[in-house]
Structure 1
Amino acid sequence: MRSGAAKRSLLALLAALLVALVSSCGVRAQDAAEAAPTGAPPAAEMGRPDQSSGPRLTVFFVRGADLAPVDRRIGASSPAAALAQVVDGPTRSEAADGIRTALAPEVVGVEAVGPDGTATVAVSRGFAGITGGNQLLAVAQIVWTLTALPTVEDVQFTVEGIPVEVPTDAGLSSGPVDRGDFRSVAPAESTAAPPTTSPPPGATSSSTEGSPAPR
């Protein structure tokens, strides 16, 4: 009987020592599951692939009632790629900075660029439904963006292959239009006159030879 009691006492002592040993290691169960870091870089903005190494292009959106230029890197220096940037609209950070687009998703795409530099842009019939001054701004966004390319001089808008009238500063036009037709909404920096400088006092005619005559 005594030997059985002794064994039970020994087992109880060993169990107590084991509990004390585990507790001293500082290991405890977590209250909730925790995601393990993967080391992967943050995901790119949805719908906008990384094109940081592509050609640079100025894309025009809207700030207030005027065009607003924004630098972009595009996959290829082509009218189609440039137009896609306009259709995609501003990024979230640009929108937070007050930049918007007047363009509704009614643009089909660039059909062709002729040898005379006229880019033909196909739009749906709903394009004419853009209301108020937004329609002029929408057309101006496309025209100013595409004419930033060296191969494009002006833009012709068509619906199902037929030229369509678009608003300009001078009224409706069914022919090719260029930047000069949208000066009323031009970015502020593009309408500012270049600064002029005067020759320093006492300068002689020889020191200013070759300088442009004052206007």
Structure 2
Amino acid sequence: MRLRVLGVALAAALLTGCGVSAQDTAEPLRTGVPLVTQPGAGGPATGQRLTVYLVRGARLTEVERRMDAPTVAAALDQVVDGPTRAEAADGVRTALAPEVVGVEVVLPDGTTTVAVTRGFTSITGGNQLLAVAQVVWTLTGLPTVTRVRFTVEGMPVELPTDTGLSTGPVGRGDYLSVAPAERTPSGTAPSGTAPSQTAPSQTGPSQTAPSQTGPSETAPADPED
């Protein structure tokens, strides 16, 4: 199910190509489903690349989507829609329920306001932190967004972060504890320890030190007188 988006003049202006004109008041909108290309649909993927952050285990994981024009609303749709069947079989999920979020406004300073229902605050345990992190990491991947603010009925929502609760705008740095795992950091670690194994070979010359005592053992050769 596609989430319903709270459109404002700025968001509506992005949709003029679809025959939707800018308006002074917010009203529910839906993003265009046909614009999105799911991976593995047959044939090469087309459109612009959008990185969406879903959940695997207790961390975020990246998945790729393609669409004609990635927008904040369309990106949120992808977070809510969750994984494809193949991704779900690989253990990928979304911590966000379909009916809880909508884009309210994108400010010129890069702060995006996301309106959530009270059902959002009932997400329990670590899933709420993961749900917020999914939205924040996905939206801040867009060039127009740097931070995200969450509201319920126009009032700031108290959000879990790595350092405690916050009612202000949050960014990726507030959710590093669930950041996607590094892809291949371990490949370079063993090579870095290899030189330390050559250190014992430098002790070889020190073992030749006793050989310098050899000439001292030739001293008894003086009794030839």
TM-score normalized with structure 2 length: 0.62
Distance 2:121 2:180 in 1: 24
Distance 1:96 1:58 in 2: 19
Distance 1:170 1:101 in 2: 23
1:95 aligns with 2:88: yes
* SS in structure 2 at match of 1:110: strand
Native 8 Å contact 2:51 2:62 kept in 1: yes
Going from structure 1 to structure 2, the CA distance change for 1:98 and 1:163 (only over 3 Å counts) comes to same
Cα-Cα RMSD: 2.4
* SS in structure 1 at match of 2:53: strand
Native 8 Å contact 2:56 2:91 kept in 1: yes
Aligned with residue 171 of structure 2, among 174, 178, 191: 178
* SS in structure 2 at match of 1:189: coil
The structure having more radius of gyration, on CA atoms, is 1
Native 8 Å contact 2:100 2:119 kept in 1: no
Going from structure 1 to structure 2, the CA distance change for 1:66 and 1:118 (only over 3 Å counts) comes to same
1:187 aligns with 2:183: no
Native 8 Å contact 1:147 1:179 kept in 2: yes
Going from structure 1 to structure 2, the CA distance change for 1:98 and 1:171 (only over 3 Å counts) comes to same
| Mapping 1:68-147, distance limit 5 Å | 68-147=61-140
Distance 2:123 2:173 in 1: 22
Q: CA deviation at 1:108?
A: 3.1
Distance 1:192 1:103 in 2: 29
For residue 31 of structure 1, what is the aligned residue in structure 2?
A: none
Q: CA deviation at 1:120?
A: 0.4
Native 8 Å contact 2:148 2:171 kept in 1: yes
Aligned residues: 152
Distance 1:146 1:127 in 2: 18
Unaligned 5+ runs, structure 1: 1-46, 199-215
Q: CA deviation at 1:191?
A: 11
Q: CA deviation at 1:192?
A: 5.4
Distance 2:142 2:184 in 1: 20
* SS in structure 1 at match of 2:133: helix
Distance 1:194 1:118 in 2: 37
Distance 1:193 1:146 in 2: 29
Native 8 Å contact 1:74 1:82 kept in 2: no
* Percent of aligned pairs sharing the same letter: 70
Question: Greater helix percent: which structure?
Answer: 2
The runs of 4+ residues in structure 1 deviating greater than 3 Å are 47-50, 190-198
Distance 2:161 2:138 in 1: 16
For residue 167 of structure 1, what is the aligned residue in structure 2?
A: 160
* SS in structure 2 at match of 1:56: strand
For residue 144 of structure 2, what is the aligned residue in structure 1?
A: 151
Distance 2:106 2:187 in 1: 32
Distance 1:67 1:109 in 2: 21
Native 8 Å contact 1:75 1:81 kept in 2: no
Distance 1:69 1:183 in 2: 14
* SS in structure 2 at match of 1:188: coil
